Amino acid sequence: MSTLEAAPVACSLTPQDYRQRIARMRDLTRDALRTHEREDLTLRLYYARHARSRVAAMVRDEEKCCAFLTFDIREDGVDVIVTIKAPEEARESVDMIFEQFTGAESAGPSCGCASSGSASRPASSEKKVAATAAVTAAGAVACAACCVLPFALPAAILASVGGIIAWVDRIHPIVTLVAALVVGAAWGWVVLQSVLTGRRPAYLTIAVMVVASALASVAVSWPVLKAPIIRVLKG
């Protein structure tokens, strides 16, 4: 059983199909997988013969949703042996792809291509959303800081950039509101993707979101922080 070499490294499952596939693969692994062997981009799975019909159904399903993988199924008189080959293009995610079939605890159950399709795209989106939130929050803090620059900049510099500083200071309330909304929406997106994929957000995503939240909090709290900062600069 082979697939087209040009097939994209992606998963075609809908959320409902994805959840159903999770349950079926988990049950098959628990009930019938005897052992497995791994050789670079090739994985061999040895299932008990009593599960041959379920194994065949699993292979058919995976060929439909994960066309970039190549499947071969045969029997040797003792086991039903499934050989799965991943393309070179999937090397970076092949560990997680194969862990789906072996039931590794670190991977969590899923369809075979989830890590290269359904899971990797949300992960990438989470990083982009977190980065956007951090940049927006940083901009709000920068706008807030402009109101104290007259107390910190020499008169010569202030004279040349005073108009810009005044304009940035005026838009601070709007930028702060936008930053708070963006950070809140980003947290919602990260949580939603975590629920849909059944995976925890990446540590880097969480770290960036914490920084974004801290920056947004500083921008929102600026009316309270401004007075003591100005006193320090004047003193």
What string of pLDDT tens digits covers the 235 residues of the chain?
444 445 555 565 666 777 777 778 888 988 999 999 999 999 999 999 999 999 999 999 888 878 889 999 999 888 999 999 999 888 888 888 888 888 764 444 444 454 444 444 455 677 788 888 888 888 777 766 665 544 444 544 444 544 544 544 566 678 778 888 888 988 888 888 777 766 677 778 888 889 988 888 887 886 776 666 656 655 5
> Collapsing DSSP states into helix, strand and coil, what is residue 235?
coil
Distances (CA, A) of 204 to 140, 191, 211, 218: 22, 14, 11, 21
157 and 194 part of one domain: yes
Q: Is residue 110 part of a domain?
A: no
Residue 71 falls inside a structural domain: yes
Q: Is residue 187 domain-resident?
A: yes
User: Residue 38's domain is classified under what CATH number?
Assistant: 3.30.1360.40
Location of structure tokens 């939130």: 133
Total domain count, the chain: 2
| Domain presence at residue 20 | yes
> What CA–CA distance (Å, rounded) separates 49 from 76?
10
Residues 125 and 223 both lie in one domain: yes
pTM for this prediction? 0.44
∠ at Cα 78 (77, 84), nearest 5°? 95
CA geometry: angle at 116 spanning 27 and 198, to 5°?
50
Overall residue count recorded for the chain in this entry: 235
Residue 7 in domain: no
| One domain for residues 62 and 162 | no
My answer on whether 149 and 55 are in the same domain is no
Tell me: do 23 and 95 sit in the same domain. Answer: yes
**DSSP character at residue 202:** P
Q: Which domain holds residue 170?
A: 120-234
Residues 30 and 132 in one domain: no
Whether residues 42 and 91 fall in one domain: yes
Same structural domain, 213 and 142: yes
Flag whether 111 is in a domain: no
